[in-house]
Chains A and B, each alone.
Chain A
Amino acid sequence: GAVVSQHPSRVICKSGTSVKIECRSLDFQATTMFWYRQFPKQSLMLMATSNEGSKATYEQGVEKDKFLINHASLTLSTLTVTSAHPEDSSFYICSARRTAEAFFGQGTRLTVV
């Protein structure tokens, strides 16, 4: 299957700092990528849809100024968690669709201390 690479897999940061997570589609071009957040023992919660060359579309209740998304090329989308706080600690996962099939990155475990 297609490969979506997400980096870093784990990150620990101090409160008030910003963290950038990268998502790359390695063997196909993705005009659209998706960012999810997953709490322990729960399903994936869609945060935003990242569109290459245009603004991201955020789901209701997700702060766009806190979770900055940039999709500058057909193979790279980034999620920046700005001014992180302990409540932002979570598992973040990106996804890219190749026609109908959606492939997921390995996920990033963010811990804010």
Chain B
Amino acid sequence: GENVEQHPSTLSVQEGDSAVIKCTYSDSASNYFPWYKQELGKGPQLIIDIRSNVGEKKDQRIAVTLNKTAKHFSLHITETQPEDSAVYFCAASISSGNKLVFGAGTILRVKS
């Protein structure tokens, strides 16, 4: 089955700097890769996703890149703000209906 590894487990950055979180997956059949932000005591919130037919997707300060050959994808947050502090999870699945397999999560702390 699919296995997703996520690094780093914790990440501290200064406000205004960039943050990068990386994930690798094992199943070459996976074609959907979402990223979630989870704040304390809340459910995960979808912040960006990418499908296997594109290599990069950007939404304001957030971008995701995908390397299908190497089976890894990354989340990039630019101009970080204190409100970006949260736990971030990557996931992988085959589109539509199949379960998501999650990474272990990254605690991001943005210091002001």
Contacts and interface: CB of A to CB of B under 8 A. Distances in A.
Contacts of B36: 104
Interface of B: 32, 34, 36, 41-46, 49, 51, 89, 91, 93, 95-97, 99-100, 102-105
B44 A93 contact: yes
Contacts of B100: 34, 95, 102
B49 to A, nearest CB: 7
Most buried by B among A42, A44, A91: A44
A44 B103 CA distance: 9
Size class of A's contact patch? 20 to 34
A1 interface: yes
Contacts of B93: 100
A97 interface: yes
A103 B49 CA distance: 12
A101 B97 CA distance: 9
A25 to B, nearest CB: 13
